[in-house]
């Protein structure tokens, strides 16, 4: 959400507030990271230099194909003999010493045209983001000791001509902590840029925006990470380096007051306004006005698939199918307990030498059993002349 307070304090070179001025309307523009990123990508392409490989590279030999029938590939081969180079493949991108695939050309479309109003929209969005402390902190700037964002200084800072004085001003404002962060990030560049006057890399520091150059550029230009820009020529590449919103900007009073006259006088352009004045959706949804007209949410229970249980293994499922199963199970348990008690008592009595209480058969029963056994043995011992005829056994005959 962009800045929306009506006034901004103007600070002296000592950090004391001097007066208050109205916040320019450009700081209320909607913050559009997508627009800024797209426009920054296209604008950054406009400073590229054309490059290409040598147009004859890989073709500086009189190679010809041997054709078919030689059991080798048909790639052109270097002619001659007496050297390792003769007979080697040439020209192709798969060959040693050959050209690259699709050699780069200088007539590539290097630059991109960007509509003027799109650039203005992106600049307005970047300016609005520079007034939101959370976005400035998220970009990595150390502004914990800054009294106010946006930071506006009196026009006396435009007359500062010495770097030592500029460092003193930044220290009193609490902005030198960001310079210290930049100094700690200075490192040797990787690659051949070290040989091309780009030996070191460092992070971005504050951007000083002025209206009239009375020596301010010479005072601040040698401080690591500090960039300077005229308010009449603001550049998106400086306001959002890398396409990332939230550059820490230090304004002079005259430059800050000039923003309205600059961006409200563009022909065919109006400062964009957000569709939602309050983008805090949580606050809107939870407000009493919205909650009073909303229905209560329906309580939708979670339906689970029915769990199938095997009644032969699950007693509860069996009881649902056959209620008598519970009674039968209890009777079986009772019977098994009684049998266990009897078995234990019998084993104990035998162990103690007590006579068994089992009922013995009477003498009459024993006599009947012996007589039956004796008769059965006698009848089965048949050794007569008709022994081979089974029908004569046991005193039976068909004759």
pLDDT digits (tens, 9 = 90+) for 301-360: 788 888 899 999 999 999 999 999 999 999 999 999 999 999 999 888 888 887 776 677
End-to-end alpha-carbon separation of the chain, Å? 128
- The pLDDT of 143-163, averaged and rounded, is 94
- The pLDDT of 21-28, averaged and rounded, is 94
Q: Would you state the pLDDT for residue 316?
A: 92
Report the C-alpha gap between 136 and 143 in whole angstroms: 8
Q: Would you state the pLDDT for residue 177?
A: 95
- The pLDDT of 160-185, averaged and rounded, is 95
> Does residue 43 contact residue 116 with C-beta atoms inside 8 Å?
no
Q: Would you state the pLDDT for residue 94?
A: 97
Report the C-alpha gap between 8 and 373 in whole angstroms: 130
Q: Would you state the pLDDT for residue 359?
A: 72
Closest CA to 257 of 387, 391, 153: 153
Tokens found for residue 385: 């002349």
Q: Residue 142 pLDDT > 90, yes or no?
A: yes
Q: Would you state the pLDDT for residue 4?
A: 64
Indicate the pairing of strand 227-230 with strand 249-252: unpaired
Look at residue 207 and give its three-state secondary structure: strand
Q: Residue 2 pLDDT > 80, yes or no?
A: no
pLDDT digits (tens, 9 = 90+) for 320-333: 999 999 999 999 99
- The pLDDT of 145-150, averaged and rounded, is 93
Indicate the pairing of strand 249-252 with strand 207-210: parallel
Q: Would you state the pLDDT for residue 382?
A: 57
% of the chain at pLDDT higher than 70: 93
Q: Residue 131 pLDDT > 60, yes or no?
A: yes
What are the Cα distances from residue 232, in Å, to 213, 254, 256, 273, 279? 12, 11, 11, 22, 31
> Does residue 202 contact residue 185 with C-beta atoms inside 8 Å?
yes
Q: Would you state the pLDDT for residue 388?
A: 62
Q: Would you state the pLDDT for residue 350?
A: 85
Q: Would you state the pLDDT for residue 377?
A: 74
Residue 197 gets the label, from left (phi > 0), alpha (psi -120 to 50) or beta, of left
- Comparing 278 with 187, which gets the higher pLDDT? 187
Q: Residue 278 pLDDT > 80, yes or no?
A: no
pTM of the complete model: 0.69
Q: Where are the beta strands (DSSP E) in the chain?
A: 7-11, 17-22, 151-153, 187-188, 200-201, 207-210, 227-230, 249-252
Q: Would you state the pLDDT for residue 360?
A: 76
Find the DSSP H helices in 221-362: 236-239, 253-263, 281-285, 288-291, 315-321, 324-351
Query: How many CB atoms within 10 Å of residue 287?
Result: 10
Look at residue 43 and give its three-state secondary structure: helix
Q: Would you state the pLDDT for residue 375?
A: 82
pLDDT band at 67; cut points 50, 70, 90: very high
- Percentages of the chain per state (helix, strand, coil), in multiples of 5: 40, 10, 50
């Amino acid at each position: 959400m962009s800045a929306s307070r009506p006034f901004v304090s103007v600070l002296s070179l000592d950090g004391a507030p001097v007066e208050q001025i109205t916040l320019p309307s450009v700081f209320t523009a909607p913050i559009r990271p997508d627009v800024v990123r797209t426009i920054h990508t296209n604008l950054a392409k406009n400073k590229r230099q054309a490059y290409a490989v040598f147009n004859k590279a890989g073709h500086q030999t009189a190679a010809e194909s041997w054709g078919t029938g030689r059991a080798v590939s048909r790639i052109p081969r270097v002619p001659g003999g007496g050297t390792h180079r003769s007979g080697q493949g040439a020209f192709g991108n798969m060959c040693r010493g050959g050209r690259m695939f699709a050699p780069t050309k200088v007539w590539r479309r290097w630059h991109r045209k960007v509509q003027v109003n799109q650039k203005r929209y992106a600049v307005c969005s970047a300016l609005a983001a520079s007034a939101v402390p959370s976005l400035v902190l998220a970009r990595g700037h150390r502004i914990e000791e800054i009294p106010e964002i946006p930071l506006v200084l009196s026009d006396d800072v435009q007359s500062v001509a010495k770097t030592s004085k500029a460092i003193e001003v930044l220290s009193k404002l609490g902005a030198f902590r960001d310079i210290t962060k930049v100094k700690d990030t200075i490192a040797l560049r990787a690659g051949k840029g070290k040989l091309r006057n780009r030996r070191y890399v460092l992070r971005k520091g504050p951007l000083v925006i002025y209206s009239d150059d009375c020596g301010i550029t010479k005072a601040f230009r040698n401080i690591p990470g500090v960039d300077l820009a005229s308010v009449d020529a603001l550049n998106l590449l400086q306001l959002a380096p890398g396409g990332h919103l939230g550059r820490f900007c230090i304004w002079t009073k005259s430059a800050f007051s000039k923003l309205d006259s600059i961006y409200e006088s563009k022909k065919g352009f109006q400062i964009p306004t957000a569709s939602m004045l309050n983008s805090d959706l949580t606050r809107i949804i939870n407000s009493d006005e919205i909650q009073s007209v909303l229905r209560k949410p329906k309580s939708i229970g979670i339906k689970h698939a029915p769990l199938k249980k095997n009644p032969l293994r699950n007693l509860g499922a069996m009881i649902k199918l056959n209620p008598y199963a519970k009674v039968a199970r209890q009777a079986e348990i009772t019977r098994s307990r009684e049998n266990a008690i009897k078995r234990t008592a019998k084993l104990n009595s035998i162990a103690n030498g007590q006579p068994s209480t089992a009922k013995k058969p009477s003498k009459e029963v024993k006599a009947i059993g012996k007589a039956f056994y004796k008769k059965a043995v006698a009848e089965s011992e048949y050794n007569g002349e008709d022994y081979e005829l089974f029908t004569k056994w046991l005193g039976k005959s068909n004759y």
